[in-house]
Amino acid sequence: MTLRDSSAAPEAVDLARHIRAYDQAHSETIADAALTEDVALALLNGRDLPASSVEEIGKNESVLKSRKVCVALAAHPRAPRRLSVRLIRQFYPFDLMRFALSPAVAPDLKRIADDLLIARLASISLGERFSLARRASGAVAAALLLDKECRIFRSALENSRLTEMAVVKALAHAGAALVEVVCRHPKWSVRREIRVALLRNQHTPLARAVEFARSLPPPLLRDVLHSSRLPEKMKRYVGEELKNRK
């Protein structure tokens, strides 16, 4: 289901047109208890729906029982921000995910949805986290890089929305398990900034540290080793490699 798409029948769409025309002509409210899910979705599918009508739909307790209506209402460009935020806080995890990925949603509302989803990760099941790691936004995938379950952060590393900067940031706090996976990852391990981050992490294996060190220019490697948390013996060994290159 897309946020703007509805499966309203033709007669429901016709009824929605009549309601919209009536509302514009007579300034009548559409916060009527008889308003159905299909009609509400048909109305919200129109980006030119007046803000007053959007607010009236938001007052209709009957249609607000529909998750589809709540998502479409929160995403509507003319929905008051306070209404959108109130509705977003009630979304289920995968509604939050789809909402944050919708191109029609304002960036600040996407951030709210992502933040809410990230805050709930600890209470979400393993299977749901696994799915979110691969499908959710880059922000959610980045948060899941620090998950305790290996299969979760492995899945997050395959998320096409995950950025290099997010991986670098995660490696600053990562434990041995994530470091080991990133060291061998065919996409991330070849990137210079990732290698720099790995050389600063105390859990990077010696063989990988030497391999990454050999790929960096000597001035950069010197700076990296200066701030690295690698064990002193490893830093000395890598330092010897630097001297040999000179």
Q: What percent of the chain has pLDDT over 90?
A: 75
Q: Which of 48-52, 108-112, 137-141, 188-192 is predicted least confidently?
A: 48-52
* Domain ranges for the chain: 1-90, 91-154, 163-246
Q: Which of 79-93, 181-195, 227-241 is predicted least confidently?
A: 227-241
Residue 2: CB atoms within 10 Å: 12
Question: 0.85 cut: is pTM over it?
Answer: no
Q: Above 60 in pLDDT, residue 19? A: no
pLDDT tens column, 82-128: 999 999 999 999 999 999 999 999 999 999 999 999 999 999 999 99
3-state SS string for the chain: CCCCCCCCCHHHHHHHHHHHHHHHHHCCCCCCCCCCHHHHHHHHCCCCCCHHHHHHHHCCCCHHHCHHHHHHHHHCCCCCHHHHHHHHCCCCHHHHHHHHHCCCCCHHHHHHHHHHHHHHHHHCCHHHHHHHHHHCCHHHHHHHCCCCCHHHHHHHHCCCCCCHHHHHHHHCCCCHHHHHHHHHCCCCCCCHHHHHHHHHCCCCCHHHHHHHHHCCCHHHHHHHHHCCCCCHHHHHHHHHHHHHHC
What is the predicted pLDDT for the residue at 16? 56
Q: How confident is the model at residue 240 (pLDDT cuts 50, 70, 90)?
A: confident
Average pLDDT (186-215) is: 96
